[in-house]
Amino acid sequence: MLKIEEMTKSQSGDRCLVCGADPAIIGIFVPEEPVKWGAAGGKTRLIRYCLCNKCQGWQDTPENVEKIIRAELDEGGIANAS
C-alpha cells in the first residue's frame, strides 16, 4: 500500500481520469462508505486520480470522477468519460 505522500507524487503514465490528457493535479477520493468501494470492513479506501487543467474546473467534475472510479472498480479497467 502506498503512503499518502507517495500517492500525491507524479507517476509515470499519469493521465487525466476524465479525458486522458496530461494531468495538472492529483486528487484522492475517499468514499463515505468504503465497503461499497471495495474496502474491507472497518478499513478506509483511498483512490488516487489525476485531472488536467481543463477538467479540474468543470462544475460536474466531482460527480464524473466518482462515476468513472465506480465504473473502473466494477469493470476492472480504465473508463475515461470521453
pLDDT in tens, 49-60: 999 999 998 999
Which residues does residue 49 pair with via DSSP β-bridges, in sequence order?
27
pTM above 0.85, yes or no: no
Task: Tell which wins on pLDDT, 44 or 14.
Answer: 14
pLDDT in tens, 1-25: 667 778 888 889 999 999 999 999 9
Tell me how crowded residue 26 is: count the other CB atoms within 10 A of its CB: 15
Tell me how crowded residue 40 is: count the other CB atoms within 10 A of its CB: 9
Secondary structure (DSSP) of 8-75: TS--TT---TTT----SEEEEE--SSGGGGTPPTT----EEEEE-HHHHT-TTHHHHHHHHHHHHHHH
So what's the pLDDT on residue 40? 85
